[in-house]
Structures are given as structure tokens and as C-alpha cells.
Structure 1
Amino acid sequence: MKSSWPELVGKRGEEAKDIIDRENTKVKAEIISEDAIVLAVVVCERVYVRVNDCGIVTQTPFVG
């Protein structure tokens, strides 16, 4: 099962979210700001898709 998506950096956040949800049905992708502060709690069913002000993915999304 896929757990990281480096190829999505540079894509639109919504497109990245759809790809993640399609490629790994056990996780839920969430779009958040690239500078959002989140708790350092590993959640095996979550993928944060960090985007800039233009909605472009800036960091590799990964499970956790």
C-alpha cells in the first residue's frame, strides 16, 4: 500500500488529495496550509497535503 507521494509536489492540492484518496483507500487526505501547526501525533489513516497560498503542494504528502 502506498504511503508517500513525492510526485505530487507542485500539483494543485485538490488534485493531490483525489490521487491520494484513490491510491490508498485506507487513508483520508486533508489539505492544510504549508505553515499550519499540527500536533505531532502519528495517525495511520491521515495524510496532510500541505499547500501554499496558491493551493500548490509544497511538501511530500505521507501517511501519519
Structure 2
Amino acid sequence: MADCKVTRKTRWPELVGVKGNIAVATIKAENPSLNVFTIKKGTIITAEYRSDRVRVWVDGCGVVYVAPHIG
């Protein structure tokens, strides 16, 4: 029997330019086990890496300006 490795996405560059709430919903639909949320540009955050977290960075208009990624 062959070993099957499931590869999950870790980055979503295609979501740059999309509204943040749509980006969050898209990522959660692809991987429901992730904790996904928006962060406004300029917000101070902690720097630790988390394999279950995706921060979706949005500008003042709520549009994603950085490719979301796990971390």
C-alpha cells in the first residue's frame, strides 16, 4: 500500500486584494482546524510562531494587503 501524504496550504497569496472577512472565510473553509482572524495594519502583535494560526492583515478599508500565511 502506498503512503499518501496530504499537503495542506500554508500561504494564500491569491487573497491579496480581497476583503478580509472573505479571506478569513476562504481559509477556514479550506482548513477548519486553523484559527483565522483579521488584524488591522499597524497593530502590535506577538512574534511567536503558531502552526494553527493565520493572521489576515487588512488595511484601513478592510482589504488584505499581505499574503496570509500560517504562523
TM range (shorter): over 0.9
Question: 5+ residue gaps in structure 1?
Answer: none
Q: Which runs of 4+ in 1 moved over 6 A?
A: none
Q: Calculate the aligned-residue CA RMSD, in Å.
A: 0.8
Using structure 1 for the length normalisation, give the TM-score.
Answer: 0.94
- In structure 2, the residue matched to 1:43 is 50
Superposition TM-score, scaled by structure 2 size:
0.85
Are positions 1:5 and 2:12 aligned together?
Answer: yes
Percentage of identical aligned residues: 38
Residue 2 of structure 1 and its aligned partner are, at CA, apart by 1.1
Pick one of 29, 33, 38 that aligns with 1:26.
33
Q: Count matched residues.
A: 64
